[in-house]
């Protein structure tokens, strides 16, 4: 009988266990937050916790004015550790996953039975600049509204490069009682005008805030961007006299330069060993094309580099062997360099050399003769005279423009219209003015009038840079030296009036001398790159406004030298030597 009772008791206990086991444990199937907080750096860089207030399905966290809410990591605990917490489809890990809390964020909590509950997490700042932007209703000429992104005390507004930054009106919202000033001047939303060409600092004050805080507003541009493509690619040596050429088939950039400064062992490169070197992009890296210590036999400078129409790479330079200072051209066969024609083949000492290929794949060299007494058998070219030669029938032949054009500088290019052009700082009339020539069936024709200047009439300084688009529109840039500083002029030849006219306003380089360059792409967009004592910027010309668009600052450091070229696929490359540490960098501008 006792045995039967024991069995009955065990059975009842089993049934009770099964029954109670089938009930849902409210904790096990819970979907609630027990805590929610942010841990942020506070002055002086110490962690500080800011606990959220959980009220039903809403969580509110109060944060100080200077906290960047765009990349916060939430730390939280759940009443059920086996829940899954998500924002959208992304699983959230406490103290690890970042979110942007500029606007309320919806958290979804999923329990084991697949039931869910949603929470809205909102960040509040009792003292804050809540919004900032530029709106069409407040600014004449703006076609759209551009809202800023506030990250702590930094505000960035993305705008088109075509808008005028000098007279923008900002629209902003603050918490009650706050005031904003720029350079001590009280700001009024939708009314106050400021110049945003450089970062603008807004000083923020509000009762209850200890002292004032500064918000810094910076502008960035929509669309294509300049980005660092390669860094420190020439080792410890400094790249001087940089010239770029683009492979017509791969669209990869190559560049020639003179090795100066130090070698890879950190030893100064002697003057008589400053050779011309070439580097090129192979699809994954920049590599030396030939010996990394230089492809010239001896000291050389004023490098030129160009690809033939068949994609064969050539380099030219002033060769200092025996102090001759004549031109040598090398050809690369894919594995090594060899002399093209004869070494030091010019019958005179030369400077400011450049190379380009005709539509018939004949190389043309433009240069300047440096001395009238270098050789009594020289052709009739004056000292500082413009000199040109073309390789034809196995020989370098003199094709110098007639009239003894005296120059301070020259540049020879192949335009996108497949014609050869020379741009010159022309001294024939006695002062530095500008001339441009086009090679046409063995004759150099002047592009418009000779010896022109910008309307200010100031003499040119030294260098010129030219570009010609596929329709034959010709451009020439040069620098003038007023009483102080340097200003850059860009001129365009007007085919209708047969005159040279200045494009837009002159561009100041501060005190930086002869560091500028032009290039034009297949769409006819003109790019003007120039250096100041602290940066390198690029501007594009806007035909609609007949002026330059805003600067795109590519490098925010002083540079030694640079060049810019555009590939046929529209990618633009800049190779530059940075003055601070003499490293060589490459930037690209992609669609």
Cα–Cα distance measured from residue 372 to residue 377, given in angstroms and rounded to the nearest whole number = 11
What pLDDT score was predicted for residue 83? 95
Place of tokens 């500088």: 409
Residue 460 φ then ψ, to 5°: -70, 165
322 φ, ψ (degrees, to nearest 5): 55, 30
CB 325 within 8 A of CB 370: yes
Distances in Å between the Cα of 180 and the Cα atoms of 155, 173, 210, 287, 479 are 14, 10, 15, 53, 41
Q: Are 217 and 153 in contact (CB under 8 A)?
A: no
The set of residues, in sequence order, having a beta carbon less than 8 Å from that of 559 and lying 6+ positions away, is 515, 531, 536, 576, 577, 578, 579
For the segment 343-377, what is each residue's pLDDT rounded down to a tens digit?
999 999 999 999 999 999 999 999 999 876 665 55
How far lies 351's CA from each of 327, 408, 410, in Å?
Answer: 9, 10, 9
Which distant-in-sequence residues (6+ apart) come within 8 Å of 383 by Cβ?
A: 369, 370, 371, 372, 406
All residue ranges of the chain with pLDDT < 70 are 1-28, 43-44, 372-379
Q: What is the pLDDT of residues 50-105, one digit of tens each?
A: 999 999 999 999 999 999 999 999 999 999 989 999 999 999 999 999 999 999 99
| 168: enclosing H helix or E strand | strand 168-169
**Beta bridge partner(s), residue 42:** 46
Are residues 256 and 575 in contact, defined by beta-carbon separation less than 8 angstroms?
no
Long-range contacts of the stretch 577-584 (C-beta < 8 A, 24+):
577/238, 577/239, 577/240, 577/242, 577/257, 582/236, 582/237, 582/238, 582/261, 583/231, 583/232, 583/234, 584/232, 584/233, 584/234, 584/238, 584/239, 584/242, 584/257
Q: Report the distance separating Cα 10 and Cα 578, nearest Å.
A: 87
Residue 13 is predicted with a pLDDT of 43
Radius of gyration of the chain (CA): 34
Q: Label residue 123 exposed, middle or buried (CB < 10 Å: 0-12, 13-18, 19+).
A: buried
Inter-residue contact 522 to 505 (CB < 8 Å)? no
Q: What is the pLDDT of residue 25?
A: 60
Residue 17: the pLDDT is 46
**DSSP assignment string, 18-31:** HHHHHSPPTTTT--
pLDDT at position 14 is 45
What domains appear along the chain, each with residue ranges and CATH number? Answer: 33-123 (2.60.40.2340), 129-221 (2.60.40.2340)
Contact by Cβ (8 Å): 417, 440: no
The partner residues of 316 in beta bridges, in order of sequence, read: 304, 329
CB-based contacts of 76: which residues, under 8 Å, 6+ apart?
33, 34, 35, 36, 37, 85, 92, 94
Distance CA 123, CA 137 (A): 29
Q: Where are the beta strands (DSSP E) in 290-344?
A: 300-307, 313-319, 326-332, 337-339
């Amino acid at each position: 009988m006792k045995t039967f009772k024991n069995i009955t008791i065990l059975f009842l206990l089993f049934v009770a266990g099964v029954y109670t086991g089938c009930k849902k444990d409210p904790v096990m199937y819970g979907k609630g937050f027990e805590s929610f907080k942010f841990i942020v750096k506070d002055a002086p860089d110490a962690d500080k916790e800011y606990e959220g207030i959980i009220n039903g399905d809403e969580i509110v966290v109060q944060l100080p004015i200077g906290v960047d809410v765009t990349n916060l990591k939430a730390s939280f605990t759940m009443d059920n550790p086996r829940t899954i917490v998500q924002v959208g489809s992304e699983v959230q890990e406490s103290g690890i996953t970042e979110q942007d809390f500029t606007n309320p964020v919806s958290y979804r909590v999923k329990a084991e039975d697949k039931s869910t509950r949603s929470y809205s997490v909102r960040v509040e700042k009792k003292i804050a600049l809540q919004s900032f932007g530029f709106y069409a209703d407040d600014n004449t000429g703006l076609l759209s509204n551009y809202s800023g992104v506030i990250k702590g005390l930094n505000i960035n507004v993305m705008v088109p490069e075509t808008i005028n930054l000098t007279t923008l009106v900002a629209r902003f919202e603050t918490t009650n009682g706050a005031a904003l000033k720029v350079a001590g001047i009280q700001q009024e939303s939708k009314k106050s005008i400021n110049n945003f060409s450089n970062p603008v600092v807004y000083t923020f004050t509000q009762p209850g805030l200890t002292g004032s805080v500064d918000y810094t507003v910076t502008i960035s541009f929509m669309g294509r961007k300049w980005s660092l493509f390669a860094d420190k690619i020439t080792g410890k040596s400094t790249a001087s006299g940089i010239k770029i050429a683009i492979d017509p088939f791969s669209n990869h950039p190559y560049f020639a330069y003179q090795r100066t400064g130090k070698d890879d062992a950190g030893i100064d490169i002697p003057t008589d060993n400053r050779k011309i070197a070439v580097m090129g992009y192979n699809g994954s890296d920049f590599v030396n094309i030939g010996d990394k210590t230089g492809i010239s036999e001896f000291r050389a400078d004023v490098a030129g580099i160009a690809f033939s129409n068949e994609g064969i790479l050539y380099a030219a330079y002033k060769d200092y062997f025996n102090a001759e200072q004549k031109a040598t051209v090398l050809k690369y066969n894919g594995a090594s360099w060899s002399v093209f024609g004869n070494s030091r083949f010019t019958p005179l000492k030369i400077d400011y050399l450049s190379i380009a290929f005709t539509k018939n794949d004949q190389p043309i060299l433009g240069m300047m003769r440096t001395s009238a007494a270098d050789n009594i058998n020289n052709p009739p070219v004056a000292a500082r005279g413009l000199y040109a030669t073309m390789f034809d029938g196995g020989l370098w032949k003199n094709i110098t423009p007639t009239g003894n054009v005296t120059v301070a500088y020259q540049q020879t290019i192949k335009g996108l219209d497949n014609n050869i052009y020379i741009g010159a700082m022309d001294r024939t009339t006695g002062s530095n003015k500008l001339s441009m020539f086009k090679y046409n069936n063995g004759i150099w024709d002047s592009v418009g009038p000779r010896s022109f200047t910008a309307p200010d009439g100031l003499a040119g300084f030294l260098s010129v840079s030219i570009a010609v688009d596929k329709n034959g529109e010709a451009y020439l840039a040069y620098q003038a030296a007023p009483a102080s500083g340097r200003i850059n002029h860009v001129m365009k030849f007007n085919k209708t009036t047969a005159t040279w006219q200045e494009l837009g306003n002159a561009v100041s380089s501060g005190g930086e001398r002869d560091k500028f360059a032009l290039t034009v792409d297949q769409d006819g967009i003109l790019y003007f790159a120039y250096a100041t004592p602290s940066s390198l910027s690029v501007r594009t010309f806007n035909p609609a406004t007949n002026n330059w668009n805003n600067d795109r600052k590519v490098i925010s450091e002083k540079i030694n030298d640079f060049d810019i070229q555009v590939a046929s696929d529209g990618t633009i490359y800049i190779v530059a030597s940075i003055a601070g540490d003499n490293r060589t960098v490459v930037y690209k501008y992609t669609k």
